[in-house]
Structure 1
Amino acid sequence: MAGRPKIFDEQEAVAKATEVFRNKGYDTASADELLCAMGIGKGSFYLAFKGGKRELYIRSITQFSEYFYQKLSVGIAESEDKVQFIRQFFLDLADASDCDKERGCYLGNALVQLSEKDLEIKKITVQLLKKLQTLFAETIKNAQANGQITSIEDPEMTGWYLSNLWNGIHVTRRMEGSPEILKSIIEMNLKILS
């Protein structure tokens, strides 16, 4: 016997749980809040997420990471000016509404708060950072080759630099709320893309 069929969309339920985790954090998000947001009962929850809240959280950051990376990589690929797209991606962080300073960045929070406590979460966040670094490095290498930028910095190290900037901006946002100051910091760092 295969058991009762699922009567909910897991991807959609995980996306709804992600909002609870983003707002409350992993430790303070209660099971009742998660179930209410997901619109499912305990039986369905434990049937789909046998590892409970931890498994749901891991699925949440995995799904969020994949969506984030896909959106960024497609945006770069479809952009006529790939370096300008990266510049704008960073400048938009200064006043992005989906990653406000109170909540921080969801992936940044996972990296800073939980990755040292949980090796699986650390692995997911490290994989995302490596993918970001590789995406940035390939874009920079191509821009150098076609003369779009004059920087002679190693593309691999520039990729790491930009990944580090992405992390750092999310941390800085927690203590500095001025979009103007954040933009100035980002623009100073983006001189490496000249």
Structure 2
Amino acid sequence: MAGRPKIFDERDVVAKATEVFRNKGYDTASADELLRAMGIGKGSFYLTFKGGKKELYVRSISQFSDHFYQKISESLTASENKIQFLKKFFLNLANTSECDKEPGCYLGNALVQLSEKDDEIKKITAQMLKKLQVLFAETIRTAQETGQIISTEDPEIIGWHLSNLWNGIHVTKRMESSPEILKSIIELNLKILD
């Protein structure tokens, strides 16, 4: 006997759970809150997520990471001036004071809070940072070849610098919320793109 068929879209319920995790954090998000947000019962939950809350969170981070990367990659590809796009992308981080309004914050939090406690989350967040680094490096390499930027620094290292900036700003935002200070930090780091 195969059991009852699923009557929900897994990606959709994971996305709904992601909003709870973003707002409450992994540790404080209760099972009841997650089930309510997802709109499914306990039986369906445990049939789908056999590893319980942890499996759901890992799937949430993975799905969110894939979507975040796809969105930035597509936006960068569609951009006429990729260096200006990168500058704007980073400077926008300074203007978003609330974490739930800035997509990368959820991933940054996962990296800081849980990656050292959980190897699977560490692997997902490390892969996402590496993908960002590669995307940034490819963009820099092309900009150098076309004369868009004058920097002769190794594109791989600039890519790491930018992925480190992305990650570091999310950590700094936990201590400093002044958009002016954050903007100054980001601008100083972005001089490498001139």
- TM range, normalised to the smaller chain? over 0.9
1:147: which partner in 2? Answer: 147
1:105 and 2:68 equivalent? no
Task: Give the paired residue count.
Answer: 193
2:181: which partner in 1? Answer: 181
Asked if the contact 1:104–1:171 (Cα under 8 Å) also holds between the matched residues in 2, the reply is: no
TM-score (norm 2): 0.95
CA pair 100-8 structure 1, distance change in 2 beyond 3 A: closer
CA pair 97-64 structure 1, distance change in 2 beyond 3 A: farther
Asked if the contact 2:110–2:121 (Cα under 8 Å) also holds between the matched residues in 1, the reply is: yes
Q: Please tell me the root mean square deviation across aligned C-alpha atoms, in Å.
A: 1.6
Question: Hey, what's the Cα distance between the residues in 1 that align with 2:168 and 2:142?
Answer: 25
Asked if the contact 2:69–2:132 (Cα under 8 Å) also holds between the matched residues in 1, the reply is: yes
Q: CA deviation at 1:99?
A: 2.7
1:79 and 2:79 equivalent? yes
Q: CA deviation at 1:122?
A: 0.6
Provide structure 1 residue ranges, at least 5 long, that are not aligned to the other structure. none
Question: Hey, what's the Cα distance between the residues in 2 that align with 1:121 and 1:137?
Answer: 24
1:138 and 2:138 equivalent? yes
Superposed, 1:33-182 pairs within 5 Å as 33-96=33-96, 99=99, 105-182=105-182
Question: Hey, what's the Cα distance between the residues in 2 that align with 1:82 and 1:99?
Answer: 25
Question: Hey, what's the Cα distance between the residues in 2 that align with 1:16 and 1:40?
Answer: 11
Q: Match of 1:114, as an amino acid? A: L
Question: Hey, what's the Cα distance between the residues in 1 that align with 2:97 and 2:48?
Answer: 31
SS of the residue aligned with 1:93?
A: helix
Question: Hey, what's the Cα distance between the residues in 1 that align with 2:60 and 2:141?
Answer: 32
Q: How far does the alpha carbon of each residue in 1:95-118 deviate from its partner, in whole angstroms, 9 at most, with x for none? A: 2366359x9811111111111111
Q: How far does the alpha carbon of each residue in 1:112-147 deviate from its partner, in whole angstroms, 9 at most, with x for none? A: 111111111110000000000000000000000000
Asked if the contact 1:110–1:125 (Cα under 8 Å) also holds between the matched residues in 2, the reply is: yes
1:25 and 2:60 equivalent? no
TM-score (norm 1): 0.95
The answer to which of 146-155 and 173-182 deviates more is: 173-182
Question: Hey, what's the Cα distance between the residues in 1 that align with 2:110 and 2:189?
Answer: 24
Asked if the contact 1:104–1:173 (Cα under 8 Å) also holds between the matched residues in 2, the reply is: no
CA pair 64-49 structure 1, distance change in 2 beyond 3 A: same
Question: Hey, what's the Cα distance between the residues in 1 that align with 2:115 and 2:60?
Answer: 14
Provide structure 2 residue ranges, at least 5 long, that are not aligned to the other structure. none
SS of the residue aligned with 2:95?
A: coil
